[in-house]
Structures are given as C-alpha cells and as structure tokens.
Amino acid sequence: MRIAVILASTRAGRAGAAVADWVVAQAQGRPDAEYTLIDLAVVNLPQIDEPIPPAAGRYSELHTQQWAETIAGFDGYVIVTPEYNRSFPGALKNALDRVYAEWNNKAAGIVSYGVDGGVRAAEALRPVLGALQLADIQTEVTLNLRSDFEQFGARFTPSDHQATVLGGFLDQLESWSRAMASVRKVPVAGPVQ
C-alpha cells in the first residue's frame, strides 16, 4: 500500500515542514504501507487552468496530467494542514480541485496544526474530501502552536502523547485504505436496459 503525506503549506519558514517530516519519520518501518512526502511548495501547481471540469477526466495541461498520475499512484493520504483564517490553505484547495477520479474511493486522514490545533481547518476540509469521494478517517492529529511547538511555531516539539495519537491515526488510515482498495476493484454497472 502506498500513502502520500501531503504538506499543504507553501509559506516560507512554514511550521508544516517539520510536522510532515515527523509524520513520515513516525511512519517509517510500518510493515503494511510505504509513506511518501508530497510538498505542494515543490509541486507548485498554478491556479486551475483546465478548460473542462476535472470530473470529466480530460486534462489538457501537462502539470495537471502529471499531478493526476501522482495522485492516482496512492491508496491513501495524510493531509498535513495549517489553519489559516478558520480554514485550510488555498494551495491545498487548488491541489484537491485540480483532479477528481484519482482521489475517488480512497482514504484520507488529517494532521492539523494551529493556535487551537488547526481543528477548524480540519472541519472545513472534511466536506471537500467527501465531495471528492475520499473517506476521511475519524482519528485526527491536532497539534497546538502553544504546546507542541516552541516559541509559537518556531520549532516543532510535539508533546509525548502525540506519537501515540499518530500511531492510532496511521493504524486507522492503513485499515481504511486497505478496505477502500476493495471498493475501487468493484466494476461499475452499466445502465439498466
């Protein structure tokens, strides 16, 4: 099983890079899945520039075709997101909205961070994941800028219990990703005649 850890923040000096690295480091050595970091700052997708809605699956731009291929190659996703103005970053919304079928019938989990653990970003993200037919797991990792970082975000120092929370989160994500793989293998019935 292949799971992408998507780093949503693209800001210079972002706290999320340390969080995403921590997730990948904690996931290393897990026997049932391979975890790969996808940094949206590196991917650097332009604002949506496709003339046809993504649900049609006809991508004309090379960067969209490459993004579709990248996303299609994973069975599940860990989304590492900050909370910006009670929601998640525009770069993440752009990345999610750019393709459609490649997300369908897979599992996703949210690792959020912010003043209150990024919980509002996670809640804003859940309906978007549902619209993309991504099954979002219930377990969530919420990292607080006051207690899991030094100097209000300058250095990531997760509380000891966060590794345990992340372990349960990854267990659930792997389980759901495995279950959703069986859904993707079910053929879609044609129209009734």
Q: Are 73 and 2 in contact (CB under 8 A)?
A: yes
Q: How many CB atoms lie within 10 A of CB 96?
A: 24
Low-confidence ranges of the chain (pLDDT < 70): 186-193
pLDDT at 193: 47
pLDDT at 188: 52
Contacts of 86 (CB under 8 A, 6+ apart): 120, 121, 124
Instruction: Tell me the whole-structure pTM to 2 decimals.
Output: 0.94
pLDDT at 187: 58
CA gap 7, 125 in Å, rounded: 14
189: DSSP letter: P
> Which top CATH class is 2-184?
alpha beta
Q: For strands 155-156 and 149-150, give the pairing.
A: antiparallel
CA gap 86, 69 in Å, rounded: 31
Contacts of 32 (CB under 8 A, 6+ apart): 1, 174, 178
